[in-house]
Amino acid sequence: MDALRCRRERILNADFLAGLHMSQILRRSVVFESRGMPAAAAIEAWHDIAGNTLRISIEEDDRDRFSLSLHAMRLDQTVATAAQTTAQSLHRDLDRALRDGLDQYGFFLQVTGSRLVQANGIDAVLLPGDLQFVDMAQEDRSVATDGRTTTLYVPRDLVESDVPEAWRLHGTIIRSAAARVLANQMLSLFDPTCAWSPVMAGFMERSLLSMAFGCLVELQVDAPGAVGDRVDRSMRRRIEHYIEENLADHGLGAQQIGAEFGISRSVIYRVFQIHAGLNRYILGCRLRRVRRLLLAGDERTISEMAYASGFVSPAYFNREFRRTFSWTPSQVRLQQQYTGHNPVEASSLDQLFRSVAP
């Protein structure tokens, strides 16, 4: 009976994300609460909820005492989370970034405890009050002690409209006076004594974004060398758009793109280092397109959809699809027909992020 009760609690906690409506504003909900659950069940549930987005590792000595309370809220264009957890390691690798396609920046606040972080060649220790800026399209990893954290996730386009090339600041620790003000504002979102109305939520979000963007601009002004050459960023955006428009072209690759934009292979490979290479990026785009078609109920055969998305070999397509999404294309189609939702994303943390995706 205890096992059944724990499983029911896990499902109820996770169902928040599956039922989230995109028009909800500042609705606080429990994404995950392990209180009353055996540690093993709590760890399994945490993997179910966050495994699409993060690779989670918990040391043997910490497994029996594992606990996690995770709250999440959507404002208007952003998502905020607050967590209290025991020690664990978290790794957002390039495979996950490529697979889930999430395209947000995060302002990560260490409230209590500490965290060893590695991102963009930066190794640092986050202490209480430290704020780190992360790009979810890039790799990062951390080893955390027991502690509390709060994070504000902002869509890429929203950030880069005010802070061009913000991706170059990935992994940066911000310890300015402005960062302390932003940290206090972020904490107020989860203050139980506050009851923010939907109207006030909009003003709160604007205030948060204004301060957050100010922190980034200040970093760029104080360390202009961190910004680097703007050509790579602009070029990569143009090429990404071209790729999306030409995925059905089976000859799409470095040679074709180089001829289209008048640039060399070496330039193309350099500007796509952030995506672990051009070929890897094109493969991910094609796989995600087929998945979107399946989830939209496209009635073509799977082979037809794969071919129209640029795949020539059905065997290669099926192998890469399963390796990337952990489901075969047929399983995704069957599940969509029966339930009408995405089996890969349902009840997972990345679904909340998708609700504010551009």
The per-residue pLDDT for range 285-307, each reduced to its tens digit, is: 898 889 888 887 888 999 999 99
Q: What is the pLDDT of residue 1?
A: 41
Measured at the alpha carbon of residue 348, what is the angle toward residues 323 and 25, in degrees to the nearest 5? Answer: 140
User: Which of 221 and 116 is assigned the larger pLDDT?
Assistant: 116
User: Which ranges in the chain are annotated with CATH 2.60.120.10?
Assistant: 2-226
User: Which of 18 and 115 is assigned the larger pLDDT?
Assistant: 115
Q: What is the pLDDT of residue 16?
A: 34
Q: The whole model's pTM is what?
A: 0.63
Architecture of the domain spanning 230-325: Orthogonal Bundle (1.10)
* Euclidean distance between CA atoms 303 and 311, whole angstroms: 9
* Euclidean distance between CA atoms 269 and 190, whole angstroms: 43
2-226: CATH homologous superfamily?
Answer: Jelly Rolls (2.60.120.10)
User: Which ranges in the chain are annotated with CATH 1.10.10.60?
Assistant: 230-325
User: Which of 124 and 131 is assigned the larger pLDDT?
Assistant: 131
pLDDT at 130 over 50: yes
For CA atoms 267, 270, 274, 276, the dihedral sign is positive
Q: Which of 86, 3, 16 is nearest to 48 (CA)?
A: 16
